[in-house]
Every structure is written in C-alpha cells, then in structure tokens.
Structure 1
Amino acid sequence: MKAAVLKSFGSPLAIETVPVPVLGTGEVIVDIVATRVLSYMNEVFDGTRNYALDLPIIPGPGGIGRVRAIGPDATRLNVGDWVFCDPTVRSRDDVVAPDIALQGLTAAGPGGMRLQQHFRHGSFAEQMRLPTENVKRLGAITSEQATQWCALGTLLVPYGGFLAANLRPGETVLVSGATGNFGSAAVSVALAMGAACVVMPGRNETILADLVRRFGSRVQPVKLSGNEDHDREAMKRAAPGPVDCVLDIMPPSVNPTVVRAAIMTVRPYGRVALMGGVGMAGGAGLELPYPWIMRNCISIHGVWMYPPDAASRLIALVGAGLLRLEEYQTTAFDLDHANDAVAHAAANAGPFKMTVIRP
C-alpha cells in the first residue's frame, strides 16, 4: 500500500509503498478515506515539539474510513462500516491508570512507547491497523462527508476537558484560548453540551467577532488587555452570572498570567480543566494561590485527551444535530502531496479551518 513515512526529524515525508498491515486478535484494519493534518505537524516532523516518536513511522492521528477486516472479538462491526479511527490507544492490562499512546503522533512515558512499538503507524496511509475498541461506528455517510467528519479529532479534545469538569446544561463556561483552533472547537462543544453562555477572552477581535456571528447571543467576547487584574474583572463582567466552569486550552507560548486571570474567574465550588501547554516550552509554570483554591473549594482537573467512550458520545451529538461539522472549512490533498498538506496546515491554522489528506 501507499503511505507517507517520516524517516528522520527534519526530513520531508517519503511517499512510498510499504507492507499492508496484518490483522491480529483484538484488532481491526480500516481503509482510510480522510485524515486531518494538525496545524503544528510541521513542528512535530522537524523535531521542534520533541514528541516521542520511534522512527521510521507513518504519522497521522486518527481518521475516517471503512472497515476492511475485523478480528474474532468484534461483535458489532462489519466489513464496510464507516468508522472513526480514535488515535488514543490505551494499554489493556491496567484499567485504573493505563499507559497511553497517540497512534501516529506521540506517546507518554515508557509504557506509552511500548504501545507505540506495536500500534505504531497512523493514518497517512491507505490502510491502518487499530485496537478493536478504537474503531467507532459513524453510521451511513458518503465519501465526501468523510472529509468533514475529520473534525471529530479536534472536537474530541475539548470534549474530554468538559467531561472531566462535569459540565452541566445551563451553566456558564469560560474558554481560555477561545480564538485558537482547539479553543474555538471548545466553544462549539460547550454549546452543544447545553452551556447557557460561553465567555470567550482573546486578543484577536476579528476572530471574536466571527465567533459571535457563528453562535449568537449565547457567547460573550472579551478583548484582553494584558493586565491580569483588569482582564479578570472584564471576564467576570461579561458573564451573565457566576462562571461555573473554566477550560484552559492555551498553547505553550502564552504567558501564564493570562491563564491565571481566566482560571480565577471561576465561582466558589467551581471547576477548572487544564488542557493547555503552559510551561511545556520552558519558562514559568502556572502559579495559583493556595488559599483561594482551598477556601473556595475549587476543583482543578488536569486532562490529557478524553475517556474511551467520548468518541461515541460525541458522534451522537453530531447525529442529533447539536454539533455542526459544517462549521469547518476544509482543504483536501491526496497522499502524493502529503508534504504540501503539512505546509498548508501550518500556514492556514485558525478557528474552523481544517487541512485533510485523502489517501
């Protein structure tokens, strides 16, 4: 089969013929129809992000495709089913604290790297092998719709944060990082989950205005000034009532004071989900006042990705019409032009923009 292979950091993807994946027990093979290209994939491939990758590897975190082959443990899947390939692979021998690898992207710790050695190759290929539990049925869709369904991979990340923070219908949410790719996805997911209002702080007034155009009166933009105390009060004033839940999904380049200002808008007994990159690129970490956390009974959740059932639950939100994939503007490339797709994704990052490879 044809695949795009990363052989060394800093080199272009090699488009070549590789062996087809071989089915094992507890596994499924999927014909990949469409797969998204992360906006920062160029930084993964050149080594800037220092992701844990055992090279050579076929990259690509998840995708949309059709089932080619199933193992004996699959009782609901059928050959030909349209499915989402969930890249979050978990070890099966410790359900309490499993090791995790993001298939085709990175791994966490020695256990995650062991997982990567087997479930190594991702979706920048004509076929992909996954654990059975990572293949989620979509129902009847068309090949053209597969491109749009790639947005699931982006939407799932903030969905995992809101699940961890136990977001309830009717609550007021603040999304720290709302003008980014994952942050704008968080706004749409929060509304789909029933949030009464989403407060959206940011510096880019054009993007804030576009979010208001898309989502109407249930979102409240806040232009950040850079003054921590001023911004905190401005965010509180924008909310129609107490802020019940804060999701931070800021990138590593952001000053921690911006994140702290957003977090400390949450009400007593409120919840905070941390999914951003503060401190990952060096520099100061996030400092929060111990007395404020303790006396106000603040719950703070660190969240990486999402629980195993999240993809199926998110697919149901799309099926019910509560979450609109049509918000995403997509640009598609074939597999022969995978390097062009990576460059395009980096140059066209932003809310509701998606670059896709169709093998």
Structure 2
Amino acid sequence: MKAALLKAFGTPLSIEQVDDPVLGTGEVIVDVVATRVLSYADEVFSGARNYLLNLPAIPGPGAIGRVRAFGPDATHLKQGDWVYCDPTFRSRDDARSPDITLQGWSAGGDGGLRLQKHFHHGSWAERTRVPTENAIRIGELSEADATQWCALGTLLVPYGGWLAADLKAGETVLVSGATGNFGSAAVAVALAMGAGCVIATGRNETVLADLVRRFGPRVRTQTLSGEEDIDRERMKQAAPGPIDCVFDILPPGVSPNVVRAAIMAVRPYGRVVLMGGVGMSGGPGLELAYPWIMRNCITIRGVFMYPPDAAIRLAGLVRAGLLSLDQFETTIFDLDRANEAVTHAASHGGPFKMTVLRP
C-alpha cells in the first residue's frame, strides 16, 4: 500500500509503498478515506515538540474510513462499515490506569512507548490497523462526507474536557484560549451540550467576533489585556452570573498568568478543567493559592483526551443536529502531496479550519 513515512525528525515525509498491515485478534483493518493534518504537524516532524515517536513510522492520528477486516472478537462490525478510527490507544491490562499512545503521533511515557511498538503506524496511508474498540461505527456516509467527519478528531478533545467537568445544561462556562483551533471547538461543543452562556477569551478580536457571528448571543467575549487582575474582573463582568466552570486549552508558551486569571474567575464550588499545553515548553509553573482552592471548594481536574465512549456520544450530537460539522472549512490533499499538506496546515490552523489527506 502507499503511505507517507517519517524516517527521521527534521526530514520530509517519504511517499512510498510499504507492507499492508497484518490483522491480529482484537484488531481491525480500515481502508482510510480521510484523515486530518494537525496544524502543528510540522513541529512534531521537526522534533521541536519532542514527542515520543519511534521512527521510522507512518504518522497520523485517527481517520474516517471503512472496515476492511476484523478479528473474531468483533460481533457488531461488518465489512464496509463507516468508522471513526479513534487515535487514543489504551493498554488493556489495567482499566483503572491504562497506558496511552496516540496513534502515529506520541506516546504517554514508557508504557505508551511499549504500546506504540505494536501499534506503530498511523493513518497517513491507504490502510490502517486499530484496536477493535477504536473502530467506532458512525453510520452511513457518502464519500464526500468523510472529509467533514474528520472534524470529530478536533471536537473530541474539548468534548472530553466538558464530560470531565460534568457540564450541565444552562450553566455559564468560560473557555480560556477560545481563539485557537481546539478552543473555538470547545465553544461549539459546550453550546451543543446545552451551556446557557459561553464566555470566550483571547487576544484576537476578529476571531472572538466571529464566534459571536457563528453562534449568537449565547457567546460573550472578552479580549485579554495581559494584566491578570484586570482580565479576571472583566471575565466576571462579561458573564450573566457566576461562572460555573472554566475550561483552559491554551497552547505551550503562554504565560501561566493568563491561565490563572481565568481559573480564579470561577465561582465558589466551581470546577476547572486543564487540557492545554502551558508549561510544556519550560518556564514557570502554574501557582494557585492553596487557601483560595480550599476555602472556595474548587475542583481542579487535569484531562488528557477523552473517555473510550466519547466518539460514539459525540457522533450522536452530530446526527441529532446539535453540532454542525459544516462550521469547518476544509482543504484536501492527496497522499502524494502530504508534505504540502503539512506546510498548508501550519499556515492555516485557525478556528474551524481543517487540512485533510484523502489517500
């Protein structure tokens, strides 16, 4: 089969013929129809992000495709079924604390690296192999629809955060970092789940205004000044009432002061979810006052990705018309132009923009 192969960090992808994936028990082979190119793929492939990925490898986390073959443990899948290939692969021998590897992307520590040795390759190929539980049936699609359904990969990340926050219909929530790709998706998902009001914060006034244009008066915005105390008070003033939950998804390199300004805008007995990358590039850590957390009964939860059943639940929101994939503007490349796709994604990584490979 044809695949894009990363042989060494800092080198271009090589498009070549490789062996087809071999089916094992507990696995599914999927014909890849469409797969995302993340906006920071160039940083991963250059080695700048220092992700744990043993090379050479076919990169690519997740895909939309059709079932080609499956093992004897699958009792519902049929050949030709449309599936979302969930890239969050979990070890199966400890349900409470599984090791995780992101397909064709990065491993979560030593255990994740061991898992990556088996599920080594990603989705930037004509076919991919995933654990049985990661082939999520999403119902009938047209070939053209597969491109838009790649947006599940973006939407699932904030969806996992809102599930961890136990978001309830009618609540007021704040998205810290709402002008990025995942942050804007967090706004859309919160509204689809029934949030009464979303406070969207960021520095890009144009993007903030576009969120209001897209989603209407349930979105209120606050442009950041960079002054922590001032920003915190403005966030509170932008809300129609107490802020029930703060969701942070700011990228690496942002000052922890920006995160803290948002976190400490939450009401007493409120919840905070941290899903961003602040601190991953070094620098000071996030300092929060112990007495403030304790006396106000604040729940702070770190969240990585989403629970195993999230993809099917999110697909249900889409099928019900509560979450529109048409918000996403897509640019399509074939597999032979994978390097061009990586360059394009890096310069077109804004809100509701998606670069897609169609092998």
Superposition TM-score tier, normalisation by shorter sequence: over 0.9
Deviation at 1:174, TM superposition (A): 0.2
**1:320-359, aligned counterparts within 5 Å?**
320-359=320-359
Partners of 1:216 and 1:106 lie apart in 2 by 37
Any idea what the Cα deviations from partners look like across 1:274-309, whole Å, max 9, x if unmatched? Answer: 001111000011111100000000000000000101
Q: Which runs of 5+ in 2 are unaligned?
A: none
The residue type paired with residue 75 of structure 1 is T
One-letter amino acid matched to 1:8 = A
1:206-257 CA distance string (max 9 Å, x none): 0011000000000001011111111000000000010001100000111110
Structure 1: 4+ residue segments shifted above 2 A: none
For residues 355 and 285 of structure 1, the distance between their equivalents in structure 2, rounded to whole angstroms, comes to 33
2:130 maps to what in 1? 130
SS of match in other structure, 1:266: coil
Question: After the TM superposition, which residues 2-21 of structure 1 pair with which residues of structure 2 at under 5 Å, given as runs?
Answer: 2-21=2-21
- What are the residue-to-residue correspondences of 1:55-134 with 2, within 5 Å? 55-134=55-134
Give the SS at the match of 1:243.
coil
Equivalents in 2 of 1:63, 1:142: separation in Å? 15
1:180 maps to which residue? 180
**Separation (CA, whole Å) in 1 of partners of 2:94 and 2:77:** 25
1:311 matches 2:307? no
After the TM superposition, which residues 146-225 of structure 1 pair with which residues of structure 2 at under 5 Å, given as runs? 146-225=146-225
Residue identity matched to 2:78: N
Cα deviation 1:68-109 (Å, max 9, x = unaligned): 001101111100001100000000000000000001100011
Deviations 1:309-349 (A, max 9, x none): 11111011101000100000000000000000000000111
Within 1, Cα distance between the matches of 2:152 and 2:253? 25
Matching of residues 252-267 of structure 1 within 5 Å: 252-267=252-267
User: Residue 269 of structure 1 aligns to a residue in which SS?
Assistant: coil
AA paired with 1:19?
D
TM-score, scaled relative to structure 2: 1.00
CA displacement, residues 121-169 of structure 1 (integer Å, 9 cap, x when unaligned): 1110000000000000110111100000000000000011111111111
Q: Distance in 2 between matches of 1:130 and 1:328?
A: 26
Q: Could you tell me how far apart the structure 2 residues matched to 1:165 and 1:171 are?
A: 11
**Residue 201 of structure 1: CA displacement?**
1.0
Alignment-derived partner of residue 31 in structure 1: 31
Specify the SS of the correspondent of 1:74.
coil
2-side partners of 1:108 and 1:226: how far apart? 32
- Name the CA distance, whole Å, in 1 between partners of 2:202 and 2:305: 23
1:271 Cα deviation (Å)? Answer: 0.5
CA distance in 2, matches of 1:201, 1:99: 33
State the Cα deviation string for residues 52-71 of structure 1 (Å, max 9, x = none).
Answer: 00100000000100000011
Structure 1 residue 120: deviation in Å?
A: 1.0
TM-score (norm 1): 1.00
Letter in 2 for 1:272: V
How far apart in 2 are the matches of 1:183 and 1:257? 18
Instruction: Report what 2:277 is aligned to.
Output: 277
Structure 1: any 5+ residue segments left out of the alignment? Answer: none
Q: What is the alpha-carbon distance in structure 1 between the residues aligned to residue 77 and residue 266 of structure 2? A: 43
Calculate percent identity across the aligned residue pairs: 73
1:291-306 paired onto structure 2 within 5 Å: 291-306=291-306
> How far apart are the structure 2 equivalents of 1:160 and 1:287?
25
Q: Distance in 1 between matches of 2:291 and 2:313?
A: 37
SS in 1 for 2:217: helix
